[in-house]
Amino acid sequence: MEITRKILSLIQKQLFKGKVIILYGARRTGKTTLVKKLVEDNPDDSSYLNCELQENQDLLSNTNSILLKDFISKKKLIILDEAQHIPQIGLTLKVLVDTFPSVQIVATGSSSFELSNQISEPLTGRSRQFLLLPFSLQEIHQHSDLIKLKSELPNYLRFGLYPQVVMEEGEEKIEELIDISTNYLYKDILQFESVKKPEILQKLLKALAMQLGSESSLNELAQIAGTNVHTVSRYLDLLEKAFVIFRLPAFSKNLRKEINKSQKIYFYDLGIRNAIIRNFSALDLRMDLGGLWENFCVSERIKHNQNNRRFVNTYFWRTYDQQEIDYIEEIDGMFFCFEFKYNPKSKSKFPKIFSQTYTNSSFQVISPDNFYELSDLG
């Protein structure tokens, strides 16, 4: 089963418009497979370079336009895979796009901190950026109808949606997840950043995994991880930039009772989360089902927005008297509010104080009975 990535067509539409294409994403999400599709479309005019190889790092470590011209030769498409390994990659990309505007450069990076720190200033106005996450329901829907998708939801909550994990069967899913979480999850953080105590990073991840769906306190996380708030804050930033986790801030604009200085932290992939705590139990044996469903729905919505180039602000909302909304999208002055309930019979109402205060708002409850509305699959 070959699943076409949703952002492939979006990237193809941006080719040869004088912009560097930057493709971010965690390791093992399929970046190399995707860019090789671009090479297949231009087999005679393309060059693919794995920038983890030392010879390619040496080749691209200078900005001499004559040497770069010799390197490009007559190619129209240049792929720089794992480009964060190239010293001063931002400056190199700037020289390439300015000197050879008819050549399309595509650079991938499995971490945003090293690549984005180097390209943000040199490539101002010269790039288009995309994020490749694990499979989305919208992508899997290419080969599965809604009935099949619904029957697979328990597996997605247990094993996640990393491409290779989805393709595996049975116990091989667990083997693949353990391999990713053990050998790839921290690779860029340990390689590019000064993380002197990776055991603290692992304790922090386990603490986040156990607090799924709850508001996160830096002080509490620091106590659990055995470190200080400054270190926790820095490690959270690295984990987010390595596409392991993402954060939702609290929404607050008008109401005195609104909590405005809190955050929730989610995992991009539940298989990785479950691998961290070594728990792949069936759903009827779990105590964390509510958190799993909430994380799944929020991450699917994030994928939906990324894959469809929907640029929205995202939040959760809670008041001090415990009224809450799991997830809010703000776009063009409208507020789209979601509540996530794994049990379809669970009741949930749109908080009256929110609807009266923010009148341009809507409310939707998402359960396994109508999960398809989350990604507009119906």
pLDDT of res. 63: 67
Specify the higher pLDDT residue, 60 or 33. 33
Long-range contacts of 56-60 (CB under 8 A, 24+ apart): 56/86, 57/85, 57/86, 57/87, 60/86, 60/89, 60/92
Task: Phi first, then psi: give them for residue 336, nearest 5 degrees.
Answer: -105, 110
Note the pTM of the prediction, 2 decimals.
0.92
Mean pLDDT in residue range 130-145 = 94
190 confidence band (pLDDT: 50, 70, 90) = confident
pLDDT of res. 188: 75
pLDDT of res. 283: 95
